[in-house]
Amino acid sequence: MGKRLEKRGGTIEFWIFIVICVYLGYAIYFAVYGLNFSFATATNQYVYDMISQNPWWWGILYYGSEGVAGTVGLILRAAAGIFALQAGYLYWRKKDFAQAQIKRKAGTALLLETGFFLAMIPSVIAAFAYNASTEYLYYFDHTPGQLLLYGTAIPCLAMVLVISPLLLKLRSEIIHDASTQEIIKWGSLTATAYLFVVFWFNYSMLWAAAMVPYPHAQVQYGLGFLLEPANLLSFAITVFGLFLTAMLALLFTLPAIKKQPNKANLTRIGATITALGGYFAFTTISYYLTGGYRAHPGVWHEVIGPLHNPNLWCIAFIFLGTAIISHNKTKKPK
């Protein structure tokens, strides 16, 4: 019994299941957080009074993006996590006997994850409209338009346009029983796109947003903030380190993308996965060591805070990546 549990607990399938568990845990937390935020936004008299002074179209965009769409997306991601958890469990324990169930549940999870990204569209529209408007619109008082442009409009639009179609394509391949090589190809392309768009481009644009002057809110911004040693290191690891990680992921998965997965180097892929998890470990440790948002009130420290970063589940990739490296080494002939 003990050996059987040890064997199951040390497999790649087990660590995929653990990553999904962390993903689901964070998704549920943010779904609850989103519901509370939506209720607070909808019932806040001060916000309503300020929005009432703006054009009618801004009230629709504001409440539609901040009060409805964002929360709907978070709930969809939590639902995706539930189906992914079921698929992950079956893949870990019964992958040879439950292929149809695994594909069906994975397909549903991918569809719901697509919904999470598509739910960003109202926020994209609101951010672009806010930035383009010449009127004094309410958005958490009056946030600088460029901050919303760099921090919401552009990165979220990129995620909607790039990630959503790839998720739907991967889902299509899975539910229509495409070949293993075809599924791996689109899985590799989707994973690489996450690295480039959801992580590198998104967080790099948030650094751009952190540079926007925002004196009214007394937040830290600009070169003075960037050139602090801890912040400069975080900036370099985000802008250059994540880009390098994404490029290496593309390079190492290229054989799989060309439908030759047997030629892919799993040790290098595992190292890349570990590096991604390590990035989120670094930002979390840096957040606490530098005093968090209280010491550095600004865009960057708000985003990387453990209770505000919806991608922090990726820290679990450290364990999956090391498991892949270990598994590949044990398979090599001595």
Q: What pLDDT shows up at residue 67?
A: 76
Q: Is residue 3 pLDDT above 70, yes or no? A: no
Of all residues in the chain, what percent carry a pLDDT higher than 70? 94
pLDDT at 114 over 90: yes
From the list 228, 302, 150, the residue with the least C-alpha distance to 236 is 228
In three-state secondary structure terms, 142 is strand
Distance CA 256, CA 247 (A): 15
Tokens at 42, concatenated:
């909808």
Per-residue b or e along 270-308, where b marks 16 or more CB atoms closer than 10 Å to that residue's CB: bbbbbbbbbbbbbbbebbeebebbeebebbbbbbbbeee
| Phi, psi (degrees; rounded to nearest 5) at 221 | -160, 175
> Residue 29: what pLDDT?
95
Q: Which pLDDT tens digit goes with each residue over 302-334?
A: 899 888 899 999 999 999 999 999 987 766 554
Whole-prediction pTM value?
0.91
Per-residue pLDDT tens over the stretch 159-214: 999 999 999 999 999 999 999 999 999 999 999 999 999 999 999 999 999 888 87
In this structure, of 107-116, 215-224, 272-281, the range with the lowest mean pLDDT score is: 215-224
Average pLDDT for residues 115-126, to the nearest whole number?
A: 95
CA atoms within 13 A on the CB side of 20: 24
- State yes or no: pLDDT of 142 exceeds 90: no
Tokens of 210: 């952190």
Please give the pLDDT value at position 66. Answer: 82
Q: 139 has which bridge partners?
A: 142
Instruction: Write down the pLDDT at residue 214.
Output: 76
Q: Average per-residue pLDDT in the chain?
A: 90
User: Tokens 């994404």 map to which residue?
Assistant: 246
Domain ranges (residues) in the chain: 1-178, 179-334
User: What is the phi/psi pair of residue 142, to 5°?
Assistant: -135, 85
